[in-house]
């Protein structure tokens, strides 16, 4: 009997000795293999295998620090790990259960990789006729690419010895819990509904379902199974919805040059969770959008009370920003018109407040609605529309002509409706509205963080923040209207008021010209010529209208001038419509050639890939998020971002200036702004030498401040 038992375990002992380790009853054994940069072995979830059951066996990779292997889709470079099994008769191996990978940026490339220790579980099916008490050897030939700055192909043949046992085998004490945890965290289907939609140059991927409701969507990322459906390096902008999210992806080869796929499969990874999704072509569901970027991505941890307070302070400071200077003439003319009539001044102050509040909330509501429709837009979006810019340019021209006395629409510059009401309420309301439309695209300190918070909140909370901003913006003018002591210091009404009003018309002419220039930057020379022609017709219509007013006062016939004025205005409007149709369709900004920013200093076009590449080269990087319609941006460019002294400082610090031009809508720029808690421009980032998070500079720059930031970043 003893000899019989000895011979029954002899095969197991022989295998154990061959592997260099003792085999105890009910225990799996394996021998690690060193390939050069990885320690590889097969490990099992259970200490044995039961007939007819499935046991998970994992290829364990312990990767040398600084090196990495690759996921099933390696990304822009690399190769996935491959396993070829040699199993006993009747035993079969399934596919690798791939854990969620890490993003690995190498220069302009983005790879999907594993670092440290990784387990790649594989289900092994045991045949029902496997003999209990026998010992089997599982052999796997594994090949993988392991990379640091260089890549080395390595391979290994690894084995695992398992006893066949009756009933449920015990969990392996060393690897059982780790493999179970890997399987639990591995991406798997969760009943999510996914659709994709190609909108211009942006591939929208929308995913909704119970697991995403109320989930932390910050940092969500889509890992495609195919390497040809999207471009991997670009940022994936996130738009939240009540039931899920929408990602803005850059379409890859299959969409741009090959046959567009009918399905888009991959892994949606969130903070702490990952799901397998398969999307089909379709319409983006409302539940996948409308709530803006995630709060974490927007970089804003403000609560509602603090956000409203910051918005109010930002609105106050906005009155001091360069973008508001052209509107000051309208406010000044309004104050002087009734400076010594406390009652009418207060009414004007309240009307101005109403104009500011209504316009701010209207623009905010429109912004929220546009973002809910899936467009990546931010504060100032109205001036990204060429038709709006053209209409505003002509409106400012009319305001300036009115202030110059070419025609009258009331007793003062903003007296629309004043003749009917006798108190200038309509004019003050219009002054507030125009001030918001032209000045609001700029952002001020405190205001930027508040807007970043607002655009991550539900509509009612967002509108509360914008209301605080409107009240802060209107507060100085309203306070002046309600403090008689300040107004009493102004001279008594007289002929000087008419001279002042006509003198203050010239900033409005400048505003009209500036808006026409912005229109030309968005559209080109032919649409600009049409707008200039429309401006001539508008001025002609204003002169005819003023002539008709004078003839009517003199008791002469005014019908002909009135009719001609109306026809001229209609013709001007027609030219605006034609110019808008002639303008190129809104699209992401085209990357331009390197453009000089000043003597000896040049700004390159910005992209996330370019930032990563320059950081990989060890350079300091400054990014200027700007737009032609942002007056503050242009003031900073002229005062702080040009000059030989700055160029010398950039050269000494091995620094590069990148410019992100948001004059036209650009979803990638909008996502980058949201990532840093901003909803508009300007934004200035300085990335330190050697990598790391950027430093955000103030919105009003000086040359010395920029040089100091660049020199500090060069020290790492």
Question: How confident is residue 298, by pLDDT bands cut at 50, 70 and 90?
Answer: very low
**How far out from the chain centre does Cα 347 lie?**
42
The larger pLDDT score, comparing residue 490 to residue 100, is at: 100
| 713 Cβ contact partners less than 8 Å away, ≥ 6 residues apart | 620, 653, 655, 686, 687, 688, 689, 695
Tens of pLDDT, residue by residue over 195-224, are 999 887 889 999 999 888 877 787 899 999
End-to-end CA distance of the chain: 76
Report the chain's mean pLDDT, rounded to a whole number. 79
Question: How confident is residue 332, by pLDDT bands cut at 50, 70 and 90?
Answer: low
3-class DSSP assignment, residue 664: coil
C-alpha distance from residue 11 to each of 6, 133, 277 (Å): 10, 11, 47
* Residue 340 confidence (pLDDT) above 60: no
Residue that has been written with the tokens 């009917």 in this structure: 420
* Residue 122 confidence (pLDDT) above 90: yes
pLDDT of residue 510: 82
CB-CB contact of 456 with 673 (8 Å)? no
pLDDT of residue 442: 63
CATH number given to 193-288: 2.60.40
Angle subtended at Cα 637 by Cα 631 and Cα 639, rounded to the nearest 5 degrees: 100
* Residue 183 confidence (pLDDT) above 80: yes
**Percent of the chain predicted with pLDDT > 90:** 28
The larger pLDDT score, comparing residue 145 to residue 215, is at: 145
Mean per-residue pLDDT, 165-170: 87
Question: How confident is residue 370, by pLDDT bands cut at 50, 70 and 90?
Answer: low
* Residue 95 confidence (pLDDT) above 80: yes
Are 24-176 and 193-288 the same fold in CATH? Answer: yes
Torsion angle, alpha carbons of 444, 643, 710, 605, to 10 = 80
Residue ranges of domains in the chain: 24-176, 193-288, 304-508, 525-582, 595-714
Tens of pLDDT, residue by residue over 440-463, are 666 666 666 677 677 667 778 888
- The two tokens of residue 355 are 């104009």
- Domain 24-176: give its CATH architecture: Sandwich (2.60)
The larger pLDDT score, comparing residue 415 to residue 323, is at: 323
* Residue 112 confidence (pLDDT) above 80: yes
pLDDT of residue 422: 36
Q: Select the highest-mean-pLDDT range: 2-16, 276-290, 384-398.
A: 276-290
- The two tokens of residue 633 are 């941006």
Give dist(CA 231, CA 287) in Å, integer. 26
The larger pLDDT score, comparing residue 292 to residue 172, is at: 172
pLDDT of residue 496: 62
On the CB side of 544, how many CA atoms lie within 13 Å of its CA? 17
- The two tokens of residue 142 are 């594994």
DSSP state letters, 126-154:
PPTTPPTT-EEEEEEEEEEEEESSSEEEE
Mean per-residue pLDDT, 257-272: 88
Mean per-residue pLDDT, 95-115: 89
CA-wise closest residue to 329 among 389, 404, 393: 404
CATH match for 595-714 among 1.10.150.130, 1.10.10.10, 3.40.30.10, 3.40.50.300:
3.40.30.10
Give dist(CA 197, CA 190) in Å, integer. 22
Give dist(CA 716, CA 615) in Å, integer. 11
Question: How confident is residue 417, by pLDDT bands cut at 50, 70 and 90?
Answer: very low
Output the pTM of the full model. 0.46
3-state secondary structure 60-81: EEEECCCCEEEEEEEECCCCCC
pLDDT of residue 508: 80
Give dist(CA 514, CA 499) in Å, integer. 24
The larger pLDDT score, comparing residue 226 to residue 290, is at: 226
Ranges 1-15, 46-60, 102-116: which has the least confidence: 1-15
For β-strands 135-147 and 82-86, DSSP reports them as: antiparallel
Mean per-residue pLDDT, 613-633: 85
**Percent of the chain predicted with pLDDT > 70:** 79
Residue that has been written with the tokens 């026998």 in this structure: 134
Ranges 229-243, 568-582, 670-684: which has the least confidence: 670-684
Residue that has been written with the tokens 């009258």 in this structure: 408
pLDDT of residue 302: 60
Give dist(CA 209, CA 620) in Å, integer. 43
For the chain, give the number of residues.
716
pLDDT of residue 299: 40
Tens of pLDDT, residue by residue over 491-542, are 565 566 677 678 877 878 888 888 888 888 778 778 888 889 999 999 999 9
């Amino acid at each position: 009997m003893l000899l019989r038992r000895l011979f029954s375990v002899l095969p197991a002992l022989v295998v154990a000795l061959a592997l260099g380790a003792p085999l105890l009853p009910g225990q799996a054994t394996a021998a690690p293999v060193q390939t050069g940069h990885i320690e590889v072995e097969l490990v099992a979830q259970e200490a044995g295998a039961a007939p007819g059951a499935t046991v998970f066996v994992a290829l364990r990779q312990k990767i040398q620090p600084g090196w990495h292997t690759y996921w099933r889709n390696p990304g822009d470079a690399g190769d996935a790990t491959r396993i070829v099994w040699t199993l006993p008769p009747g035993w079969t191996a399934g596919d690798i259960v791939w854990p969620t990978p890490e993003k690995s940026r190498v220069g302009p490339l983005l790879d999907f990789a594993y670092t440290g220790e990784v387990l790649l579980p594989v289900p092994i099916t045991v045949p029902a006729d496997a003999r209990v008490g026998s010992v089997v050897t599982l052999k796997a030939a594994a090949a993988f690419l392991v990379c640091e700055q260089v890549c080395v192909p390595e391979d290994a043949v690894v084995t695992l010895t398992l006893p066949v046992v009756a009933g449920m085998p015990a969990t392996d004490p060393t690897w059982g819990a780790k493999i179970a945890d890997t399987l639990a965290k591995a991406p798997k289907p969760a009943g999510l509904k996914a659709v994709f939609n190609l909108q211009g140059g942006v591939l929208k991927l929308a995913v909704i379902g119970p697991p995403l409701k109320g989930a932390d969507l910050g940092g969500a990322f889509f890992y495609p199974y195919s390497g040809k459906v999207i471009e991997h390096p670009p940022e994936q902008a996130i738009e939240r919805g009540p039931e899920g999210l929408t990602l803005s992806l850059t379409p890859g080869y299959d969409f741009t040059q090959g046959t567009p796929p009918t399905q888009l499969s991959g892994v949606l990874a969130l903070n702490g969770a990952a799901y397998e999704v398969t999307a089909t072509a379709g319409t983006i569901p409302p539940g996948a959008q409308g709530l803006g970027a995630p709060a974490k991505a927007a970089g804003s941890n403000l609560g509602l009370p603090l956000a409203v307070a910051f918005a109010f302070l930002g609105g106050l400071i906005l009155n001091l920003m360069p973008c508001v200077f052209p509107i000051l003439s309208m406010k000044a003319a309004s104050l002087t018109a009734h400076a010594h009539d406390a009652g009418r001044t207060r009414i004007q102050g309240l009307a101005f407040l109403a104009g500011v509040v209504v316009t701010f909330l209207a623009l905010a509501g429109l912004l929220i609605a546009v973002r809910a429709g899936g467009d990546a837009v931010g504060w100032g979006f109205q001036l990204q529309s060429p038709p709006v810019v053209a209409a505003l340019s002509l409106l400012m021209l009319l305001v300036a002509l009115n202030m110059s006395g070419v025609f009258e629409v009331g007793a003062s510059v903003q007296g629309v409706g004043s003749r009917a009401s006798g108190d200038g309420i309509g004019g003050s309301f219009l002054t507030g509205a125009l001030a918001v439309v032209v000045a609001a695209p700029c952002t001020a300190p405190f205001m930027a963080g508040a807007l970043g918070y607002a655009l991550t909140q539900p509509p009612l909370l967002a509108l509360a923040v914008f209301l605080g901003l409107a009240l802060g913006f209107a507060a100085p003018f309203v306070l002046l209207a309600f403090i008689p002591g300040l107004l009493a210091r102004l001279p008594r009404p007289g002929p000087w008021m008419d001279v002042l009003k006509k003198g203050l018309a010239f900033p409005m002419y400048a505003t009209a010209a500036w808006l026409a220039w912005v229109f030309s930057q968005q559209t080109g020379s032919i649409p600009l010529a049409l707008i200039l022609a429309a401006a001539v017709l508008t001025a002609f219509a204003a002169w005819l209208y003023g002539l008709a007013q004078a003839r009517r006062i003199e008791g002469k016939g005014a019908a002909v001038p009135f009719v001609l004025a109306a026809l001229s205005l209609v013709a001007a409007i027609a030219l605006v419509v034609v110019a808008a149709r002639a303008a190129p369709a809104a699209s992401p900004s085209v990357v331009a050639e390197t453009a000089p920013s000043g003597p000896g200093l040049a700004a390159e076009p910005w992209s996330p890939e370019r930032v990563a590449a320059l950081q990989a080269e060890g350079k300091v990087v400054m990014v200027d998020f700007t737009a032609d319609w942002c007056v503050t941006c242009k003031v900073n460019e002229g005062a702080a971002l040009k000059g030989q002294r700055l160029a010398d400082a950039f050269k000494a610090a091995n620094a590069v200036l990148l410019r992100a031009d948001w004059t036209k809508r650009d979803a990638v720029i909008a996502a980058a702004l949201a990532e840093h808690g901003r909803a508009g421009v300007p934004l200035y980032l300085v990335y330190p030498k050697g990598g790391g998070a950027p430093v955000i500079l103030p919105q009003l720059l000086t040359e010395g401040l920029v040089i100091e930031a660049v020199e500090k970043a060069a020290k790492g």
